[in-house]
Structure 1
Amino acid sequence: MASVSGVVATAVNERAKRKYGELVTCVEVLVGTLPRVEKHIKAMDKGKKGRTYKMATPDELLKRIGMIRAGLVDFTEECKKRETELTTTEWTV
C-alpha cells in the first residue's frame, strides 16, 4: 500500500504538471494573438489624432508589440529551463 506522503507527492506533481501545461498554453495563446494585433495596428489611420488625448502612433505600438513578443519568448525560455522544478513542486502565489 502506498504511503500517505507518496500519495500527497503524486497529487502535488499532477497538479504542478497541470498548472505548467496551463501556463504554457496561455503563453502560446498570447503569442498567437500578436500577428492579429499587428494587422490591426498596421490598418490604423496614421493621420488621425484624438481631440483631447494623445494616441500612440502605429510605429510606437508595433515597437511595443515587439517588446512584448521578446518578453514572452524570454519567459518561455525561462519556463523551459525550470520545467522540472515547475512540474514537481507546489505552486504558490
Structure 2
Amino acid sequence: MAAGSNSLTRVFGGSPIGVLLRLVLLCVIVGLVMDQLNLNAFEVLRHAARAIEELIANSADLLRHIGRYFLIGAMVVIPIWILLRIFRMGSGRG
C-alpha cells in the first residue's frame, strides 16, 4: 500500500486528502470573491468564447489583407526575379 500511496502523493503534489481540502477551501474563497464581484462562471466562459471568436475573425481579416499584399507584391517581384534569372543565365553566372 505504501507504493500506491507514494504514487498518489506524487500525482496530487502532496497528501491527497490535504490537497483536496485545500482545493475545496480555494473553491469556496474564489466563489465568494466572484459572487461579491457579481461575476458568473458562465458569463466568464461566454466572454472567453466571444474573445476567441473575435480573435479568429480578426485573424481571418488579417490573413485576407496579407494575402492581398502578397498578390500585389508578387505581381512586381516575380516578373523582376524572372528577368534577373534570365539575364544571369545569359551572362553565364547562372
**TM-score scaled to structure 2, two decimals?**
0.44
**TM-score scaled to structure 1, two decimals?**
0.44
Q: Which has the higher contact order (CA 8 A, sep 6+)?
A: 1
Q: Which has the higher helix share?
A: 2
Structure of higher CA gyration radius: 2
